[in-house]
Structure 1
Amino acid sequence: MTSIGTGYDLSASTYSPDGRIFQVEYANKAVENSGTAIGLRVKDGIVLAVEKLIHSKLLVPDSNRRIQTIDRSVGMASSGLLADGRQIANRARDESYSYRDVYKESPPLKELVQRMGLYVQAYTLYSSVRPFGCSTILGAIDKSGPVLYIIEPSGVAYGYHGAAVGKGRQLAKTELEKLKLSELTTREAVFEAARIIHLVHDDAKEKEFELEMSWIGAETNGLHLPVPKDLLEEADKKARDALEDYDE
């Protein structure tokens, strides 16, 4: 991360001579060093999955969640700094409540993502703040059907059929591209998401991790809910077995 001259990374409001904002690039590095998060947009819903790395055996299982509910039908998965992800989730809830208060209906995800993109981008403009060190995947079912977006630390947002952020994003994207997402059901997507998370974690075997998943679809009546424990355990077991067969 060198540039022409020095000192251009001391403030988020300073460009380097070659037109880069180093603090935004450092924020992206924070995401790349975190556990992988993926989102799948399938024919009848959305599935979110996160590789939650366990840094200590003393941590309580299922605590410090990286998947959060924003609105009844909107879920968010984050990769990067956990505290930054929580701040973005809280702001997204405020924006959702504000839209509902004015228009008396749930916000379309596109509108919510535009507002959140502006909020995140504002933190790249001033020397008194720093960019958010996390990328978020937002998924929902609204009037147009299932929708999926990523918001990056720079504030830019993209719509995706299959999204991946974090340490194993490149391998995860490769695996997502092999799937016919428009033909999968949410239940089938749960098993595929578990397989991909286990596959990308295989490169960092020295650390244990928890598989965290949620879904939105017909089976949840359009609500964002955690994947039922029995289905999650079944998907987790199948993914481990598939990985062992692959290794052999």
Structure 2
Amino acid sequence: MTSIGTGYDLSASTYSPDGRIFQVEYAAKAVENSGTAIGLKVKDGVVLAVEKLIHSKLLVPEANRRIQTIDRHIGMSRKQILADRLGLYIQAYTLYSSVRPFGISTILGAVGKDGPSLYVVEPSGVFFGYNGAAVGKGRQLAKTELEKLKLSELTTSEAVYEAARIIYLVHEDAKEKEFELELSWIGHETNGVHLQVPKDLHGDAEAKAKAALETIYLVHEDAKEKEFELELSWIGHETNGVHLQVPKDLHSDAEAKAKAALETFE
């Protein structure tokens, strides 16, 4: 609490001279210091992922989930109404001195007749629709990674891998803390029902995310403290004489083999 807000931060209904509501800003700050959560709206559904930090080794694994199912068939309802209703409810807690704003940002994913949708409701009650969304401590890096993806071309199965990769990437800044990766999806693969991602797919996505994070190349060793991206392109018989980016599956396979080859020198 700073001197700037002194006297103006005691109530959610008090405006500062420059038009700020400090109680709402404090609630937003609480969200910024929490674990990262992301949502990806893709062509056949929505994938949600959460970095759930483990604050104690005594916690029961997979307990205290941060991804919840509001309604089993929420994909069949009118999503805008739900986001609007939740936004109005949260906003009501910013209007009166007897209550305090919610220190949460909520990501809502659903599927309806007009396709998948993704919304974020902020502590102020404001909500927006997104193709890709991120909240929490690693939101900036997560948003940067989401912007690199062609979300409209991905399936939910592909998005699960991307979501896991992004969560592991943003966790690097807090890698001294253990965390659990939560993944859920709704869409064609689940017949419109919001479910946790199956354990086999979840495990595979985590393994690939870890492998991608650990990828290092021999020529990069002299500058390994600096981050880099590998770009690969080709032209020839395989591309019918057209210069193209190397396909993602081949690109990933090449990265994995490069990492394995590097480890033989260590």
TM-score, with normalisation over the residues of structure 1?
Answer: 0.85
Q: Counterpart of 1:36?
A: 36
CA contact (8 A) 1:11 1:127 kept: yes
- Radius of gyration: which is bigger? 2
Q: Residue 90 of structure 1 aligns with which residue? A: none
**Which runs of 5 or more structure 1 residues have no equivalent in the other structure?**
76-105
Give 2:203's aligned residue: 233
Is the contact made by 2:5 and 2:22 (CA closer than 8 Å) also made in structure 1?
Answer: no
Deviation at 1:58, TM superposition (A): 0.5
Matched to 2:95, the amino acid is L
Residue correspondences, number? 218
1:191–1:235 contact (8 Å) kept in structure 2? yes
- The question of whether the paired residues in 2 share the 8 Å contact of 1:37 and 1:48 is answered with yes
* Structure 1 residues 215 and 8, CA gap change in structure 2 (3 angstroms): same
The corresponding residue for 1:95 is none
CA contact (8 A) 1:36 1:168 kept: yes
Deviation at 1:5, TM superposition (A): 6.8
Asked if 1:190 is matched to 2:137, the reply is no
Q: Which residue of 2 aligns with 1:69?
A: 69
Q: Give the Cα separation in 2 of the matches to 1:59 and 1:148.
A: 31
- My pick for the range that moved more, 64-73 or 151-160, is 64-73
1:100 equivalent in structure 2 = none
Deviation at 1:111, TM superposition (A): 0.6
Secondary structure of 2:15 counterpart: coil
Query: Could you tell me which residue of structure 2 aligns to residue 113 of structure 1?
Result: 83
Deviation at 1:166, TM superposition (A): 0.4
Q: Look up the match of 1:49.
A: 49
Whether 1:168 and 2:138 are equivalent positions in the alignment is yes
1:102 matched to which residue of 2? none
SS in 2 for 1:241: helix
SS at match of 2:68: strand
Structure 1 residue 3: deviation in Å?
Answer: 6.1
Runs of 4+ in 1 over 4 A off after TM superposition: 1-5
After superposition, the C-alpha distances for 1:86-128 in whole angstroms (9 at most, x for unaligned) are xxxxxxxxxxxxxxxxxxxx53010111111100000000010
1:13-32 aligned within 5 A: 13-32=13-32
Contact 1:4 1:17 in 2 (8 A): no
Give 2:242's aligned residue.
none
Q: Which moved more, 1:133-142 or 1:2-11?
A: 2-11
Deviation at 1:46, TM superposition (A): 0.4
In 2 relative to 1, CA 2–18 (structure 1 residues): closer, same or farther, beyond 3 Å?
farther
Question: 2:121 — aligned with what?
Answer: 151
5+ long unaligned stretches in structure 2 = 218-223, 225-266
How far does residue 219 in structure 1 lie from its aligned partner after superposition?
1.1
* Aligned-residue identity in percent: 79
State whether residues 43 and 152 of structure 2, in contact with CA within 8 Å, keep that contact through their aligned partners in structure 1: yes
Q: Tell me the CA shift for residue 246 of structure 1.
A: 5.1
Query: RMSD value over aligned CA atoms?
Result: 1.5
Deviation track 1:220-242 (CA, whole Å, cap 9, x = no partner) reads: 11100000001001100110111
Which amino acid in structure 2 is aligned with residue 69 of structure 1? T
1:130 paired with 2:100, answer yes
